[in-house]
Amino acid sequence: MGRWVYLNGEYVPQEEAKISIFDHGFLYGDGVFEGIRAYKGRVFRLDEHIQRLFRSARAISLKIPLSPHELREKIKEVLRKNELKDAYIRVVVSRGEGDLGLDPEKCPYSQLIIITDKISIYPEKFYEEGLEVITSSVRRNSLSALDPGIKSLNYLNNILAKLEATAKGVSEAIMLNNHGYVAECTGDNLFIVEGGVLVTPPAWAGILKGITRDVVIELAREENINFEEKVFTLFSVYTSDECFLTGTAAEIIPVTRVDGRVIGDGRVGSVTKILIKKFRELTEKEGVPIYE
C-alpha cells in the first residue's frame, strides 16, 4: 500500500484519493499550493509556509477549510501516519467542484489535500560543482496579469520555461520579467554576489517570495554579509562573482554557468559556501517537531 493522504477531513490511501473532474483546480488551475520540507522529524519554517498559503488563498478569494492551527496539526498528523521524518509535503487547496463555467462562486466547497513523500535530493555533485542554467525566452508572468507572489496552481508560465531548459539539457532556467530584468527561475529564487554584496530581486520585480530566500537573507545578516534587494539585468548575472538558487527542494544550489558564460572563476564561491553550511546547520536544529 502507498502512503496516506489527507483529503477533505479524511485520511485515505493515496491510490484511493480522488478528486472530481469538475474541480476547478483541474479545469482551470484555480487553487493554491505549498511545498514544505521536514528534516529529521521537524518541519522547517512550517508557520511561514502556512502563512504564505493563506495569503495566496486570500489573493484569489479562496476559502481554506481549516484554520492555520488546524492545518499545522493535520500536516504533522499525515507525517506521523506515514512514519516520515525526512519528507516533502505538498498542501493543495483547489476551488472545488463546480460547473464548466469559470465562476468560482459556483464552487461551494474548496478541497484541501496534503500529500507527503520522500524528498528527491539533487545529486551532491551539483552542490560541489554548481549547476548550469540558461535564460528562458519565456518572460515571468507580469505583476499586472498574474502576480508571481501568488503560489497558484497555474504553473504553465514556469512549465513553458522549464521545457526550454530541459530541451537545452539543463534543469533550471532564469526568467526575466516583462521589463527585461531578472526575476527568478522556474521553481527557485536567484541570488548573485557582486563586489562582496549579496543581491536578489525585490518582490516587485515579479517573483514568488521564497521562504528559503527569506532564510538566506536572515543568514546573510547574521554572517555580516552585505545584502541588497535590487533589480538587475542579465549583464549583472554574467559578470557576477557568484550566483546561486534557493528553494525548498533545492535548498541553496550554486550556479557556475549561465547561457554558456562561466560565473566567477567557475567554482563555488566563498559566500555561497558559507550560506550552504549555515543553512544546513539551521535545518538540523530548527523546525516544528512532528512527534511531540
Residue whose grid cell is 566567477: 264
Could you tell me the smallest distance in angstroms from the CB atom of residue 150 to ligand PMP?
11
Q: How far apart are CA 266 and CA 270, in angstroms?
A: 12
For residue 86, the SS3 value is coil
Q: Which of 191, 218, 225, 235 is nearest to 281 (CA)?
A: 218
248 binds ligand PMP (CB under 6 A): yes
Which member of 76, 151, 162, 278 is catalytic?
151
Identify which range of 57-65, 121-129, 198-206, 242-250 contacts ligand PMP by CB under 6 A: 242-250
Write the binding mask 194 to 213 for ligand PMP: x where contact by CB under 6 A, - elsewhere: --------------x-xxxx
Nearest to 132, CA basis, from 166, 182, 158, 178: 166
Q: From residue 141 to residue 160, what is the string marking binding to ligand PMP with x (rule CB under 6 A)?
A: -----------------x--
Report helix angle 211-222 to 46-59, nearest 10.
Answer: 130
CB of 21 to ligand PMP, least distance (A): 26
Q: What is the separation of C-alpha 13 from the centre of its chain, rounded to a whole number of angstroms?
A: 26
246 binds ligand PMP (CB under 6 A): yes
Q: Given candidates 31, 187, 206, 254, which one binds ligand PMP under the rule CB under 6 A?
A: 187
Residue 151 annotated to the active site: yes
Is-contact 95 110, C-beta < 8 A?
yes
What are the cell numbers at 13?
A: 490511501
**Binding residue (CB under 6 A) for ligand PMP from 132, 164, 184, 242:** 184
Smallest distance from ligand PMP to CB 216, Å = 9
- Min. distance of Cβ 159 from ligand PMP in angstroms? 11
Q: How far apart are CA 292 and CA 274, in angstroms?
A: 32
Here the cell at position 284 is 538540523
Q: Which amino acid is at 173?
A: A
Question: Which C-beta is closer to ligand PMP: that of 31 or that of 98?
Answer: 31
Task: Please choose, out of 63-71, 163-171, 246-254, 257-265, the segment that lies near ligand PMP by the rule CB under 6 A.
Answer: 246-254
Q: Where are the beta strands (DSSP E) in the chain?
A: 4-7, 10-13, 31-39, 42-44, 87-94, 111-117, 131-135, 172-176, 182-185, 189-194, 197-200, 227-229, 242-247, 251-258, 261-262, 288-289
Q: Is 35 in the site for ligand PMP (CB under 6 A)?
A: yes
**Of 247, 264, 269, 287, the one binding ligand PMP by CB under 6 A:** 247
Q: Least distance (Å) from ligand PMP to the CB of residue 184?
A: 5
Specify the residue, 201 or 269, whose C-beta has the smaller distance to ligand PMP: 201
Binding site for ligand PMP (CB under 6 A): 35, 158, 184, 187-189, 208, 210-213, 246-248
Residues forming the active site: 151
